[in-house]
Structure 1
Amino acid sequence: MSWGHACVDVYQGAVAALVPFFVSERAYTYAAASGVVLAASLLSSVVQPLFGALTDKRAVPWLLPVSTLVGGAGVALSGVSGSYPLTLLAVAVSGIGVAAYHPEAARVARRASRGSHTAMGWFSLGGNIGFAVAPLLVSAVMAAGGLRASPLLAVPAVVGAALCAAALRALTTADAVPAATRTTRAAGKDDWASFLRLSGAVVCRSVVFVGLSAFVALHVRQRTGGGELSGTAALFVLYLGGALGTVAGGRLASRHDRVTVVRWSSLLTVPAVAGVVFVPGPLLYLFVALASAGLYVPFSLHITLGQDYLPRRVGTASGVTLGLTVSVGGVASPLIGAVADAASLRTALAPLIALPALGWFLLRTPCRERTPAARPAPHSPYPPRPSASRNGPRGGGRRRTTRLRGWR
């Protein structure tokens, strides 16, 4: 599932990686280039929760390989036609494919991981690897034949569809109790107030990340005086730092309260983004890496927190937290592009500095943290693993309690 996630998220990173080539080969303005990012993000933002609601009602595992192929096909066709509307249509189709993939993939990954934060961190890491590889893959394809060579970008989709099919087959063989899983999931109570606050923090994080993804390559080229390679390197650092941040987030969540980890990572992201906007020269790459790590430490934690807040609607929670993390920020990208055209790219990116702090503010109310060791049952979609030490060395106290309550 993790490697399949990598193949899918290549296409989320590929759209931003294609922006400099649309600008250079087709003379797109900043606003027009950001419209491409918007086309990939807007429909994805709208339909992703709908796919999440669908997975809450019924399991649709076949959607994983199909959506992977659709996501790849859209990006592969984006460079074939010089028509701007057809380009927008192609990346919009890709966005729908990516949107269809994530809610069901998060549900399947949560089932396979049995609610482990570390395991979900590895699943999220796969997506970050896909992001990191995207600019390198796009640059290699563009060097081979420019935008006309974009059909070569369909290769990861074919590989990803095969990986998803293999993972589903292995999971079906290992665990054939989806009905029991749904019964256990429905036992919890949905906490919509906490989920809405979390969603606000996810939106803030998304706007910063997508804004940087769309324009950091052009921004670095301006600030360092380098060519296309310098911009590609910056995008690669942005995505690679996210991979490291995702692993760190899973590890930190196993030792500390998840909300505390999310809040502090948001706060520390503020100076990192400020460095990206204002620091010139090669040192800029360091701040790109720090901003990326800070933005990605909460990535898998947003997913598991959302699923714990809405245990009756795990698919919906996954569609919002996993989908909005990447897609809804694209809605703000045309505004960033318009400001960049009117003033400068640095001026347009400056407001992104404040958004991580707003995310910290939204999560300041302490949330009820439920870890497998402390409070396993109500809000975990899966039964806890057996523990010999939970009821004492012999478990006698537990048995006496249950008899007093009249259980057989």
Structure 2
Amino acid sequence: MTARRRALALAVEHGVDDLYQGAVPALLPALVATRGWDLTRAGGIVLAATVLSSVAQPLFGVLADRLRVPGLRVAGLLTAAGGVAAVGVVDSYVATWAVVLLSGLGTAAYHPEAARAVHATGTGDRGMGWFTVGGLAGFAAGPAAVGLVVGGLGLGATPLLALPAVGAAVVALVPRRRPGPVDPGRVPAASESARGRDDWPRFGWLTGVVVSRSVLFYGLSAFLAVHLTIRFDLSPGLAAITLGIFTGAGAVATITSSALTRRFGRTAVLRGSYVAALPLLAATLLAPSPVLALVATGLLGAALGVPVPVHTTLGQAYLPHHLGLAASVTLGLAVSAGGLASPALGALADHAGTTVALAVLLGCPLLAGLLTLPLTDPEERTGSSRA
């Protein structure tokens, strides 16, 4: 298998894994409607998907840097799927919380080793871009899968959601011919541009950017569908589809990220994306009709999708000697950290309404934009080019 095909296969596999991250918030309208939960409890389910994952992500990242444990990819993938599959089978809130917690742990185990495998293909920023697009496409497919399975067959049909992971695991375990040596000329100059040094201060600023986006993205993923359901009297199934529009637009926009960064630079793309996200979020919340709300939602998803590959490639450029740790933070820890704010947003939504709760998120793109100001691109400083 060529390096390109190997990177594309990992991108598809990443999509399957992140389908289960996207499925969790998409299940909330059905759980609220079927089990009578309030929004505080619903936010607690998102917390379950992220709290253990947030703690475990750096540990798995360090493990991926020190040891090659390819089995973590398959084990993490199946664990992520198994937890989501069990949501409709268990009855109590505590049991639901536990299986979603297990799913989040599986996601934490998957990402660092998978990102290391992408880097090993030698496809550079392009391969990581494909990998990121695959994950976003999978996240976007999560609500659609939930709408198809749960909307059509009921909450008890969630075990069917595990089928994509089973198929991906079988493919991953099939023996294949080892790839040939990587052409050094095709390897990106990230480590060279960093001159062998890890830039921890700038990586810290970048982590703040991604955490700010994560709070915004997870808050919208958890409560936007519920907000639209309440405001425009949408059905849970249709609300899940609207969430798919939000995440799907982000996945599509991610494809443009590589071209935009080549033209304008990584840091300019980061700043521009978050500047655009602020008015688009306001438009989403203030839209007078469901059609206009969906248009604004799609544009907002696109604005939040463009910078995602930049987070990972820039993070690995800052930490060339800790690629697994960099990936675990930019793909995992900093992403799952957003779920930690979901219970507080849910409690605020119960008390003051979803519009007020989501309006609080207006501070997130503003903060993310400000945190990009100290960032510079190592490749721009040295004049090297990106793949």
How is 1:340-359 mapped onto 2 (pairs within 5 angstroms)? 340-359=349-368
Does the aligned pair in 1 maintain the 2:147–2:241 contact within 8 Å?
Answer: no
- Output the amino acid matched with 2:344: L
> Could you tell which deviates more after superposition, 296-305 or 249-258?
249-258
Out of 243, 249, 253, which is 1:235 matched to?
A: 243
Q: Deviations over 1:287-341 (max 9, x none)?
A: 1111111111110100011101011111111000011343111000000000001
Equivalent residue, structure 1, for 2:146: 138
Mapped partners of 2:173, 2:230: distance in 1 = 44
- Secondary structure of the 1:354 match is helix
Distance 1:241 1:135, change over 3 A: same
Equivalent residue, structure 1, for 2:45: 36
Equivalent residue, structure 2, for 1:260: 268
Out of 305, 324, 328, which is 1:319 matched to?
A: 328
Distance 1:35 1:174, change over 3 A: same
How is 1:3-402 mapped onto 2 (pairs within 5 angstroms)? 3-116=12-125, 118-165=126-173, 169=176, 172-175=178-181, 188-281=196-289, 282-370=291-379, 374-375=383-384
Distance 1:99 1:175, change over 3 A: farther
Q: Deviations over 1:46-77 (max 9, x none)?
A: 11111001111112112111111111011111
1:165 CA drift (Å): 3.7
- Output the amino acid matched with 1:53: V
Q: Deviations over 1:323-382 (max 9, x none)?
A: 134311100000000000111000000011121111111111241331699337xxx9xx
Q: Indicate the percent of aligned positions where both proteins have the same amino acid.
A: 41
Mapped partners of 1:372, 1:125: distance in 2 = 27
Based on CA coordinates, which of the two structures has the bigger radius of gyration? 1
Mapped partners of 1:134, 1:128: distance in 2 = 10
Mapped partners of 1:201, 1:331: distance in 2 = 16
Does the aligned pair in 2 maintain the 1:72–1:157 contact within 8 Å?
Answer: yes
Equivalent residue, structure 1, for 2:7: none
Mapped partners of 1:368, 1:206: distance in 2 = 22
- Output the amino acid matched with 2:79: V
Mapped partners of 2:67, 2:226: distance in 1 = 44
1:162 CA drift (Å): 2.9
Does the aligned pair in 2 maintain the 1:3–1:163 contact within 8 Å?
Answer: no
1:86 CA drift (Å): 0.8
- Secondary structure of the 1:174 match is coil
1:126 CA drift (Å): 0.7
Does the aligned pair in 2 maintain the 1:234–1:285 contact within 8 Å?
Answer: yes
Mapped partners of 1:307, 1:164: distance in 2 = 25
Mapped partners of 2:79, 2:165: distance in 1 = 8
Mapped partners of 1:278, 1:99: distance in 2 = 36
Distance 1:371 1:111, change over 3 A: farther
1:176 CA drift (Å): 8.1
Does the aligned pair in 2 maintain the 1:8–1:68 contact within 8 Å?
Answer: yes
Mapped partners of 2:156, 2:87: distance in 1 = 9
Mapped partners of 1:102, 1:293: distance in 2 = 23
> Could you tell which deviates more after superposition, 319-328 or 44-53?
319-328
Does the aligned pair in 2 maintain the 1:125–1:246 contact within 8 Å?
Answer: yes
Q: How many residues align?
A: 371
Does the aligned pair in 1 maintain the 2:25–2:46 contact within 8 Å?
Answer: yes
1:4 CA drift (Å): 0.4
Gaps spanning 5+ residues in structure 1: where? 385-408
- Output the amino acid matched with 1:156: P
> Could you tell which deviates more after superposition, 74-83 or 359-368?
359-368
Task: Return the structure number with greater helix share.
Answer: 2
Q: Deviations over 1:11-63 (max 9, x none)?
A: 00010111001101100100001101100011111111110011111121121
Q: TM-score, with normalisation over the residues of structure 2? A: 0.90
Mapped partners of 2:79, 2:258: distance in 1 = 30
- Secondary structure of the 2:344 match is helix
Distance 1:280 1:373, change over 3 A: same
The Cα RMSD (Å) is: 2.3
Does the aligned pair in 1 maintain the 2:29–2:225 contact within 8 Å?
Answer: yes
Mapped partners of 1:29, 1:65: distance in 2 = 35
Mapped partners of 1:121, 1:212: distance in 2 = 24
Mapped partners of 2:198, 2:35: distance in 1 = 49
1:132 CA drift (Å): 1.6
Does the aligned pair in 2 maintain the 1:224–1:280 contact within 8 Å?
Answer: no
- Secondary structure of the 2:379 match is coil
Mapped partners of 1:283, 1:43: distance in 2 = 37
Equivalent residue, structure 2, for 1:406: none
Q: TM-score, with normalisation over the residues of structure 1? A: 0.86
1:283 CA drift (Å): 0.2
